[in-house]
Structure 1
Amino acid sequence: MKGVTVLIPSYNEQEVLHQLYARLTDVVASLHHYKFEFLFINDGSKDNTLQIIMSLAENDQRISYVSLSRNFGKETAMLAGLDYATGDAVIIIDADLQDPPELIPVMIKYWEEGYDDIYAKRRTRAGETWFKKWTARTYYHMLRKVTRIPIQENTGDFRLLDRRCIEALKQLREVHRNTKGMFSWIGYHKKEILFDRDPRAAGETKWNYVRLFDLAIEGITSFTTTPLRLSTISGGVISVCAFIYMLFIIIKTILYGADVAGYPSIITVILFLGGIQLLSLGILGEYLGKVFNETKRRPLYFVDLYNGSKRGTSEFRTTKDKIVLNNEKVKSIV
């Protein structure tokens, strides 16, 4: 019997957890040939999310939960879920029920046909403003233009991943994570299914425009160096234009005795060049900051509770770290 883990990152979702659990149990009731695990990742919730998960786990042995020591963000919470998932496949689904659990049988069907990554693409997005839809469409269009990775448009984290996809993602221990790009980066055999996204069943979204903008910057800087190249190109173009303009001023003054423009033109040029320089420094700072954080090699998360037991330990070690530790043990024995 194959195992399937339903991974549910949760942050302040007390209003919707009972509805989510009821719909999940109804869906998997007809899938008798699979062993299901409902893995909740409590990402430092400040409401009763953890208490509700623990009460559900007392009455259903299929429920497991990992409670992180604080709020590390959804991207890191999903990685923690992949680390602790026990199934042969993992289905990532949001707790807010915008992603319908009723698509799970369809995902499993395609998984049995040999696909490794079955992702749900949004055909419509109910409950979202036209501005959010427009910015999302513009962002994905721009990202697909500047990167060589085939980024999936109008898709979120709702998908089924085969165990080999899970093991591949577990090796990507980046501090600045953009999981949507990572899903495309690892490759493997993918299948698209369309669905109509529902509005939130309850509660409020945790994604304001500031966080969405930050996520967009992470996506761009994680999978392309195009901003750095554009900065270089703009610097070169401005230098050439400035040189040509300088020759024009010199020739015009020598041949025609024209007066050189004064204060207004100088201030305009200085402000323009200063803006370009600050923009270029900001782009360099974004990449340099990512390098700085990656070189610290800090654990990506800490676990407070795992199925009721206090852990106080950090994330699972990668395969490379395990090999190094084993080699050290062998040397010490010899």
Structure 2
Amino acid sequence: MSDHAPPLHADYAPAAPPAALPRPALLLSCVVPAYNEEANLASFVRALAQAAGQLTPQFEIIVVNDGSRDGTHEAALALTREGLPVRYLALSRNFGKEAALSAGIDHARGNAVLLIDADFQHPLAMLPEMHKLWQLGYDMVYGVIADRSAEGGAKRLGTGLFYRLLNSGNRVKVPPHAGDFRWMDRRVVEALKSLPEHHRFMKGLYAWVGFKTAALPFVPQDRAGGQSSFNLRRLGSLALLGLTSFTTIPLRVWSFIGTAVALAALCYGAWITVETLLFGNPLEGWPTLAAGIMLFSGVQLMSIGVLGEYIGRIYDEVKRRPSYLLARDEDHSPLRGESREP
């Protein structure tokens, strides 16, 4: 493993396989979210079908097109005509990866569900080990990025800060450097489907539902083609969603800042009083007064902004709109008879 490998979180690194009843015959649902993956989708689905076929003859591949703007739609439809066990779900617009994952999970029919990206960065060679750990009794097996040296320094710093804030004072610890590459038992899938959130931060939900988990370190491979859609703006938006969904630390931070500013203002007021009584105080100090007003106004506006983010989440949740809408459902899954959909 690389020297840059982060340690696995203690709560999620397995010490020994849990005692469990024998697993039933594997019925595998592979959920593949796709956004502008025209260059990769066909070759990846074929490779995934070959890898899944070595584990079980009973599997389905659920391709979720998250409102792509390239030829992903046509590529997915072509796959359904090749005789592959593909179910194609086209969302009505771009709802985001969290919603695309939710759509795939909602429509998965197997007793185990694999979440995997379509860009070849998640190694297919890890599937047998995930399957083995599932057979040993683990309900969820997830990949942990073992080397981030290829990423920019700003991204690594931001990622580390995000996880420290997210897990600070939070009973539910989200394992750092873990992503959406994971294998889940049917019990985990049903637990995720029962959660009513509209804004779904999946990494937090995976941790919140609990169950027996195991972590597998891996090094992301290079994209086979195309470019990642996760720019700094999207990553920042996802980080903000995670913080407002799973921690109240931002509210507490601004409470402490407000208290510190109030104490500083009280001390400054006491100093002005003493100075006036002992030495007199001419009409100087207007720049100080103006700077103080601007400081307090800025602190107030920033704290209102943080509070507004939480209120905005509440506003979106109470409207009870669905997380996604389907525009098309091409069902060529051999697990149709095993449907566990509501």
TM-score by length of structure 2 reads 0.86
Aligned residue number for residue 315 of structure 2 = 292
Q: CA RMSD in A?
A: 1.8
Residue-by-residue CA offset, 1:250-305 (whole Å, 9 max, x unaligned):
12211222446421101111111111001101011100100111111112211111
Secondary structure in 1 matching 2:219: strand
Q: Please say if residues 145 and 219 of structure 2, whose CA atoms lie closer than 8 Å, have aligned partners that are also in contact.
A: yes
Aligned residue number for residue 39 of structure 2 = 15
Matched, 1:185 2:208: yes
Aligned residue number for residue 266 of structure 1 = 289
1:172 Cα deviation from its structure 2 partner: 1.9
Query: In structure 1, how many angstroms separate the alpha carbons of the residues matched to 2:41 and 2:197?
Result: 30
Query: In structure 2, how many angstroms separate the alpha carbons of the residues matched to 1:162 and 1:215?
Result: 26
Alignment gaps of 5+ in structure 2: 1-24, 333-340
Aligned residue number for residue 194 of structure 2 = 171
Matched, 1:220 2:237: no
Aligned residue number for residue 31 of structure 1 = 55
Query: In structure 2, how many angstroms separate the alpha carbons of the residues matched to 1:27 and 1:233?
Result: 52
Q: Please say if residues 127 and 199 of structure 1, whose CA atoms lie closer than 8 Å, have aligned partners that are also in contact.
A: no
1:233 Cα deviation from its structure 2 partner: 2.3
Residue-by-residue CA offset, 1:7-56 (whole Å, 9 max, x unaligned):
00011100001221232133223224x51111101111122212111211
Query: In structure 1, how many angstroms separate the alpha carbons of the residues matched to 2:229 and 2:169?
Result: 28
Query: In structure 2, how many angstroms separate the alpha carbons of the residues matched to 1:8 and 1:126?
Result: 26
* Residues 167/213 of structure 1: CA separation in 2 closer, same or farther (3 Å cut): same
* Residues 156/83 of structure 1: CA separation in 2 closer, same or farther (3 Å cut): same
Secondary structure in 2 matching 1:40: strand
Q: Which amino acid in 2 is paired with 1:41?
A: V
Q: Paired residue for 1:157, among 180, 188, 191?
A: 180
Aligned residue number for residue 117 of structure 1 = 140
Aligned residue number for residue 91 of structure 1 = 114
Q: Which amino acid in 1 is paired with 2:99?
A: T
* Residues 161/308 of structure 1: CA separation in 2 closer, same or farther (3 Å cut): closer
Which has the larger share of helix? 1
* Residues 67/122 of structure 1: CA separation in 2 closer, same or farther (3 Å cut): same
Query: In structure 2, how many angstroms separate the alpha carbons of the residues matched to 1:306 and 1:114?
Result: 33
Query: In structure 2, how many angstroms separate the alpha carbons of the residues matched to 1:131 and 1:270?
Result: 33
Is the deviation greater in 68-77 or in 247-256? 247-256
* Residues 138/131 of structure 1: CA separation in 2 closer, same or farther (3 Å cut): same
Q: Please say if residues 88 and 162 of structure 1, whose CA atoms lie closer than 8 Å, have aligned partners that are also in contact.
A: yes
Moved over 6 A (4+): none
Is the deviation greater in 39-48 or in 249-258? 249-258
Query: In structure 2, how many angstroms separate the alpha carbons of the residues matched to 1:48 and 1:223?
Result: 36
Secondary structure in 2 matching 1:31: coil
Aligned residue number for residue 200 of structure 1 = 223
Is the deviation greater in 103-112 or in 145-154? 145-154
Matched, 1:70 2:93: yes
Matched, 1:57 2:85: no
Residue-by-residue CA offset, 1:194-234 (whole Å, 9 max, x unaligned):
11111211101101101111111111110111211222222
Secondary structure in 2 matching 1:193: strand
Matched, 1:6 2:39: no
Query: In structure 2, how many angstroms separate the alpha carbons of the residues matched to 1:100 and 1:71?
Result: 26
Query: In structure 2, how many angstroms separate the alpha carbons of the residues matched to 1:138 and 1:215?
Result: 14
Secondary structure in 1 matching 2:131: helix
Query: In structure 1, how many angstroms separate the alpha carbons of the residues matched to 2:261 and 2:150?
Result: 45
Query: In structure 1, how many angstroms separate the alpha carbons of the residues matched to 2:182 and 2:216?
Result: 9
Is the deviation greater in 153-162 or in 57-66? 57-66
Residue-by-residue CA offset, 1:293-320 (whole Å, 9 max, x unaligned):
11111122111111169xxxxxxxx98x
Q: Please say if residues 253 and 260 of structure 1, whose CA atoms lie closer than 8 Å, have aligned partners that are also in contact.
A: no
Secondary structure in 2 matching 1:119: strand
Q: Please say if residues 37 and 64 of structure 1, whose CA atoms lie closer than 8 Å, have aligned partners that are also in contact.
A: yes
Aligned residue number for residue 65 of structure 2 = 42
Aligned residue number for residue 248 of structure 1 = 271
Q: Which amino acid in 2 is paired with 1:250?
A: T
Query: In structure 2, how many angstroms separate the alpha carbons of the residues matched to 1:227 and 1:296?
Result: 24
Give aligned pairs, total.
310
Q: Please say if residues 126 and 197 of structure 1, whose CA atoms lie closer than 8 Å, have aligned partners that are also in contact.
A: no
Q: Please say if residues 178 and 219 of structure 1, whose CA atoms lie closer than 8 Å, have aligned partners that are also in contact.
A: yes
Q: Please say if residues 49 and 61 of structure 2, whose CA atoms lie closer than 8 Å, have aligned partners that are also in contact.
A: no
Is the deviation greater in 168-177 or in 186-195? 168-177
Q: Please say if residues 168 and 249 of structure 2, whose CA atoms lie closer than 8 Å, have aligned partners that are also in contact.
A: no
* Residues 126/202 of structure 1: CA separation in 2 closer, same or farther (3 Å cut): farther
Q: Please say if residues 7 and 90 of structure 1, whose CA atoms lie closer than 8 Å, have aligned partners that are also in contact.
A: yes
Q: Percent identity?
A: 37
